[in-house]
Amino acid sequence: MRKRTEPVALEHERCAAAGSSSSGSAAAALDADCRLKQNLRLTGPAAAEPRCAADAGMKRALGRRKGVWLRLRKILFCVLGLYIAIPFLIKLCPGIQAKLIFLNFVRVPYFIDLKKPQDQGLNHTCNYYLQPEEDVTIGVWHTVPAVWWKNAQGKDQMWYEDALASSHPIILYLHGNAGWGDSVGTPSERGMTYDALHVFDWIKARSGDNPVYIWGHSLGTGVATNLVRRLCERETPPDALILESPFTNIREEAKSHPFSVIYRYFPGFDWFFLDPITSSGIKFANDENVKHISCPLLILHAEDDPVVPFQLGRKLYSIAAPARSFRDFKVQFVPFHSDLGYRHKYIYKSPELPRILREFLGKSEPEHQH
């Protein structure tokens, strides 16, 4: 029997020799057998090569999948580690919470010169600065009624200060956190309340008998109730207090804020996140302040507010309405349906707002300045 390792050329020679010595049919059969063996030898190794290539490709694919899984696992462990580390970091550094509450380092829009409100289309607005104490400067925008638009063109600060003594009511507006402001100093609840008191006294010293209303929005409602409580305690209350998108107190607001969703059910949430706020001296206790306020109170809140939940504004109203301090004053809660889309800061767009204010104040008021 021939060995399988013999060369193909030798096999051809043997097949040819057999063909010359045998009959035609036998030669044909033998030649066919030789071709079959040749084909088997030629096709055998060639068929194995694709299988080897397929195996190698599969191994590479598995290797890539394993590498991706390892990278994903590393990312997952890093995210999990960061998730666990943040509560401890905030607990050890409570000042972080204060920064997140005031967000005074955030400027939106950033490229804006607050000294030039006319660049924002406010040609009847003047920017100036007040100094309640050494090393503290408060940036103020004073906007006169739109009917004075033309008269206000190019006027200086003294003209605007004299305008406070006109017949138009005045609104001291206390805005929420972040976004605006070029005041100098480090924010704190106590400091902001003192600054607001300084501005109120500055206005009263120039406004004569004109009504002065205090309007707070979002975090500004905490400053507003702190301010009005102090004014009522010294028996110089404002003519009315308006709270837009208010909360009950900063702990409940922090727990309800959308940023707290990922940690709301974290073990020890209060200890990690809320106690550091209190230890920083930040309370903004609107629910306690309203029990000591003696002036008309109007609360405005949108049902679709994603920042300060609507139920907190409703809860604040339920605390204020039966309070003895309001027994001689009007307390009103005005909700804005979610279909209107006013959310957290667009109630000012409501065409019903002027009517709501007129009815609440009890008379047809002229345009306000603030």
In terms of phi and psi (left: phi > 0; alpha: psi -120 to 50; beta: otherwise), the region of 189 is alpha
Q: Choosing from 142, 207, 245, 305, which is the catalytic residue?
A: 305
368, two tokens: 């306000």
- Those residues with Cβ within 8 angstroms of residue 293's Cβ, 6 or more apart along the chain or in another chain: 225, 228, 229, 232, 237, 241, 320, 323, 325, 326
* Alpha-helix runs per DSSP H in 2-117: 8-21, 24-92, 95-102
318 in catalytic set: no
Cβ neighbours, 10 Å, residue 74: 10
218 in catalytic set: yes
Q: Choosing from 175, 198, 344, 370, which is the catalytic residue?
A: 344
275 in catalytic set: no
Partners of residue 297 on adjacent β-strands: 241, 331
Write phi, then psi, for 184 (nearest 5 degrees): -105, 135
94, two tokens: 């409570």
Longest CA–CA span in the chain (Å) reads 138
Cβ neighbours, 10 Å, residue 240: 23
Report how far residue 97's alpha carbon sits from residue 307's, in angstroms, rounded to the nearest whole number: 17
Residue 38: CA count within 13 A, CB half-sphere: 15
Report how far residue 198's alpha carbon sits from residue 183's, in angstroms, rounded to the nearest whole number: 14
Q: Choosing from 218, 245, 294, 325, which is the catalytic residue?
A: 218
Report how far residue 197's alpha carbon sits from residue 337's, in angstroms, rounded to the nearest whole number: 34
Where is 138: in which H helix or E strand? strand 136-143
**What residues are annotated to the active site?**
218, 305, 344
